[in-house]
Amino acid sequence: MHDERRRIEERVARLHTQRIKPATYASGVPMEVAAWQAPGEPVSFEEAAAAPYAPFAMDTLWGPPWGTTWFRMSGRVPAEWAGRRVEAVIDLGFAGDWPGNQAEALVHRTDGTPLKAVNPLNQYVPVAHPAVGGEEVEYLVEAASNPDVLANGFAGPTPLGDVRTAGDRRLYTFRRADLAVLDEQVWHLDLDLQVLRELMAELGEHEPRRHEIAHALDRAMDLLDLDDISASAPAVRDALRPVLAKPAHASAHLVSGVGHAHIDTAWLWPIRETKRKTSRTFSNVTALADEYEEFVFACSQAQQYEWVRDNHPHVWERIKKSVVKGQWAPVGGMWVEADGNLPGGEALARQLVHGKRFFMEHFGIETRGVWLPDSFGYTAAYPQLAKLAGNEWFLTQKISWNQTNAFPHHTFWWEGIDGTRIFTHFPPIDTYNARFSGEEMAGAVRNYAEKGGATRSLAPFGWGDGGGGPTREIMERARRLRNLEGSAKVEIEHPDAFFAKARAEYPDAPVWAGELYLELHRATYTTQARTKQGNRRSEHLLREAELWATTAALHAPGYSYPYERLDRLWKTVLLHQFHDILPGSSIAWVHREAEAEYARVAGELRDLTGEAIAALGSGGPRVFNTSPRDRAEVVRTPEGAPVYVQVPANGSAPLTPAAAPHPVTVSGRTLENGIVRVQVADDGTLSSVYDLRSDREVLAGQGNLLRLHTDLPNCWDAWDIDKHYRNRYTDLLEPGSVTVAEEHPLVGAIQVIRSFGKGSRITQTITVRAGSARIDVETDIDWHETEKILKAGFPVDLRAPHSSAEIQFGHVQRPTHTNTTWEAARFEVSGHRWVHIAEPGYGVAVINDSTYGHDITRTVRDDGGTTTTVRLSLVRAPRVPDPEADQGRHRFTYALLPGASIDDAVAEGYALNLPLRVADSAGEPEPVVSVEGEGVTVEAVKLADDGSEDVVVRLYESRGGRAHGVLRTGFPSTGAQVTDLLERPLGEVRADASGGVPLTLRPFQILTLRLRRA
């Protein structure tokens, strides 16, 4: 037989695209359209319904950036359409086929009931099936003219990312608003051809099945009447039926499909637009569920459900009905799909608590897995936190984006820092927006790493990022691919069902221990520094407010614990931990609002803490220590004078001087306190840091060296930092001034001021305090650079084989060498309050109060010694998607801690982030809890969420070893229970003879205790 593939494929392609697709809608009549441009922000349906509308013609421009235009559309179904499937077809002037970052709309009945959304891949609204003819149709359509912020493909900055700078030029040309007849036979023929052509293209040229499909298509096209596509479509479909009916091979890979609509809670649109996106997408999904009984839709992010409940109760009721029918699967159990690295430990716990509780309260469903496909790496604390929240599985996807190393597993046991393992999967289809194309299906089979051990994988299908979700076309593809020769098989099912089958099939799946590091998007540890600082400070202010509110509830008669206010503030902070807000990868509008929200949250939390302390009574200044360690340090009186005080962990003490330690001396540019001696060079760097206790020099070069690097990644400006940034830099060695800033027996400080670049200015105050080895660098930057990154480096005279970086409820170790591509790829890493490097017998920590990005490198000097350099990433200056990212004022502190153990790093990390508070108070209550025993660290103290007034304490082992201790209460207690994160009992703990609660913890174990009040 002659090879006629080219002729056949070209023939089929032309007939399919030029004749069959255009015939999908057999006939149509235009609707009458009128329009009203809403002023400013979106308005309610009631306001829009009462507004004055003006006639609107097709092919007319509409929609300024971020505007809302309401359209009134009306028409009559022609009598001759009786018995046919009639739809309204609306084209707002869609740009491309991505539903997310462009025009989209929600269609309402005239009574305000939302019907369905329209977007580029979902332009229809059902009218009648079958039609009787003569029906009147009238809609009110809320259309959003969201700009395509990335239309220029990252080529340069755009003002479209903020309503304040986007201008008012109209963006879209309205193309169509028709009543039309859907020719169902032609529509199904189109889908038959899509599936067969894509399958054929993926089969090898030597595969008989490829040739079989080609010739079947060729014969079928002979039956197509070009003058009457509609009439001939059934015959064409009949000719293709045998080739579509051939079953898959017995060993074919099984793809478990679940509907999905990845809706970024904010990204290239503000939160207010996400609130509308959720209602649009969820209205489409519930409509699709009515059409396809096998349909199952998985949806995470409790926050988005809450928005729909509050803003569109009709859609909310449809969701609840779909849940009952088993077609809607709440998943994930988190308040939002948070960033996987940056939230603090307690915040990640609360993400799971608030998310799971929402689904249990509103649907009676306890979610069983963590659904987090799109975060930029995943902390090694997740397995333990997930299991403690009652989860059995974990789903991710983003690791498939690795720049350097292909992750070796798709189904595996993920082992966390404490040894907890959770069954984990990331789909080999390599997307969380699958549509069951031939390329995707073949790719899933090729990629699947578990061949020979397992046979199934998951595929979240539906358009996403900006929502959209599954479409009827994707559902039809799934039906055709359920059992089709040459393809993997598709079975639509609940994620819980997939994970149960996958685990049963593959119980001995391989183990991956430690973090899931994404070899991409490493700049998300640094970009939008003020957003990150707002998060860090909010987390610590929440800890402070809960501790002192608990103290007041126990000891101040008449004080009422602020459950509702704390709940609301926690949810605000959790919302802004979404994986495109906290990482700094959103448009300017998002980060402008985030900074304002953090300021509001901080103010309210300070008020809450102040109210709790005031409830204890007034009588003089007192010092309050929210950290989990006893502290002896310098604090300022209300008048600003330094005082050395001692304050117990989680407790308070009078503002009276303690025994004075060795005084601080300032001599020229040298600061000394009997523990460390710090010398500041003429260029403002640290020329020496001498540890007087260990009699050794700490530095092996210029300390606190500020280095300004050119920083233009290959793509994804806000997200990425590529290794070539290291090749071009300027060391900032020309200070404007180096002066003594403070000289006091308890405090010595030297101030260094530098101006550089495009008008940027940095003021740093290097401070040594009595009794402390910690050397603080208080930093104030007025930043005006573009496409730069500023780093601060500390070259330390240590041969450290690895670095340790704090993560949630513990720390991870990373090699300082680059023996393999896995280590080399970690050229920028995340850490929380501290990083630590050590050789046997000596260690150094670098502490911070709002910085996450670091790099740690190792070199050998000419004298044979080793220099291990820790550098903090302070600020960046990307221009996409926010052209003003990081511009302006930043204030933060980082510190060098010589002679530090891990335990010292933990203690000083808390101390820097939880400064002592001085307030007027007469109360002298005992700390709510105190802990005897090294390595046991209290992370949270609060009242139980159920209103019982039990006290809940969350603690963990923080050194990475076994810990034994005793927890004592500052209030009468009748017993203690171990609970999960949701405060559900797991077992009783018996008190010891002295009434204390004995503690035995494995390395990095998290323990939640519920203490019953007498």
Q: Catalytic amino acids?
A: 374
Instruction: Give the orientation angle of helix 563-575 with respect to helix 529-555, to 10 degrees.
Output: 160
Quickly list H helices, 222-270: 229-245
> Going by DSSP bridges, is the β-strand pair 124-128/86-91 parallel, antiparallel, or unpaired?
antiparallel
Distances (CA, A) of 110 to 42, 50, 57: 18, 11, 21
- Residue of 777, 771, 774, 778 whose CA lies nearest to 664: 771
Distances (CA, A) of 263 to 266, 305, 374, 544: 8, 12, 11, 33
Give buried/exposed letters for 458-488 (b at 16+ CB in 10 A, else e). bbbbbbbbbbbbbbbbbbbbbbbbbebbbbb
- Token pair, residue 994, equals 């002295």
The whole-angstrom separation of Cα 497 and Cα 65 is 43
550 SS3 class: helix
Starting from the edge strand earliest in sequence, which strands make up the sheet with 747-756, in order? 735-743, 747-756, 760-769, 775-783, 888-898, 842-848, 834-839, 802-807, 810-815
- Token pair, residue 674, equals 């009997």
C-alpha 381 chain-centroid distance: 15
Torsion sign (Cα): 272, 277, 282, 287: positive
- The DSSP H or E segment spanning 601 is helix 588-615
| Contact (Cβ atoms closer than 8 angstroms) between residue 328 and residue 299 | yes
CA angle 78, 82, 85 (to 5 degrees): 95
Distances (CA, A) of 827 to 218, 855, 857, 875, 909: 55, 6, 8, 17, 23
- Residue of 271, 418, 397 whose CA lies nearest to 332: 397
Going by C-beta distance under 8 Å and a sequence separation of 6 or more, which residues neighbour residue 955?
628, 931, 936, 937, 938, 939, 967, 999, 1006, 1007, 1009
- Residue of 935, 959, 957 whose CA lies nearest to 1005: 957
The whole-angstrom separation of Cα 768 and Cα 431 is 51
- The DSSP H or E segment spanning 209 is helix 208-221
| Contact (Cβ atoms closer than 8 angstroms) between residue 844 and residue 900 | yes
The whole-angstrom separation of Cα 633 and Cα 771 is 7
The whole-angstrom separation of Cα 553 and Cα 612 is 8
Starting from the edge strand earliest in sequence, which strands make up the sheet with 951-957, in order? 936-943, 951-957, 1006-1013, 973-979, 985-989
Max intra-chain CA distance, the chain: 102
The whole-angstrom separation of Cα 931 and Cα 1013 is 18
Going by C-beta distance under 8 Å and a sequence separation of 6 or more, which residues neighbour residue 85?
128, 129, 130, 131, 181, 182, 184
Instruction: Give the orientation angle of helix 345-363 with respect to helix 529-555, to 10 degrees.
Output: 70
CA angle 141, 147, 148 (to 5 degrees): 120
Partnered with residue 175 across adjacent β-strands are: none
Partnered with residue 967 across adjacent β-strands are: 931, 997
Instruction: Give the orientation angle of helix 208-221 with respect to helix 184-202, to 10 degrees.
Output: 150
> Going by DSSP bridges, is the β-strand pair 393-395/369-371 parallel, antiparallel, or unpaired?
parallel
